[in-house]
Structure 1
Amino acid sequence: MSAGPTSPKAATYLVTACVFGYWLVAHGVGEMYPISPLGMFRSAMESSSRVVVRRADGTLDEAFDYVDWRCEGDVDTSSSAHPECDDPGYSAQATRVEDHIVSHRGEGEDPVVLVRLGFYAREGDTPIEVRECVLAQCRARRER
């Protein structure tokens, strides 16, 4: 019995050929949309960060749980604005927090501290190191 076009064996060959073809074209063309060798996955990240709120009692919360933000000065979570903080790289989440604060300004009364938690992985079986950096002193109201 021969393998027809709808047999599982033919489908496996077709999928394998497509994946291999994509790989060949991607590495030949390079970083050109819509073909890409997906270089972002070539190496593991060694650091990451998240911007959160520390309440007066020390509890950490998501910044998105707060409204009516009132901060001392402009809120800027970038590394250039905070050279005292280690640079864990760009964080889309930090940019979203900035946008949230700007769009939810008000007269919040609860004292909160906007902090960046940096997570740093080292080689081997060493535990992940967590570093905290203060970004802004604010007042806000917890909504959630």
Structure 2
Amino acid sequence: MPEEVKNTMRNHLSTNYNFDDISKDKLAYLNRLFSERYKQWKSDLHQYFEMFDDPQVVLKEGCPNEFMDRQDSWVWLCGHFQESGYVATIVEKGQSVLQESASQLPPDTPIKSVDPPKDAGFHILT
């Protein structure tokens, strides 16, 4: 997660919590927690985006409620989900997750009977 995003999040939370005197261990824990929550949130949004067959339809009709007041962020995120670098990374990570799942099955298991884990989307994004 970019340092700028971490700092912005800390600034928003600092209105309710004082992070000035926080220990390094607690700060590391919060960074891991924020990072995992961010990845899960992005994974959920990517899965939602993938439900639409046409990127133009998702832009016009699919904006989630949490982006209603900042549709420019939704437009950016939809573009991000379509970038070749992002798509290639997702494909590569998807292959890794599937290979790991398949490696735990007997060697003679037919490929048709291999299902990815239910949380595969999250593991691919992380």
TM-score scaled by length of structure 1: 0.24
Q: Which has the higher helix share?
A: 2
Q: Which has the higher strand share?
A: 1
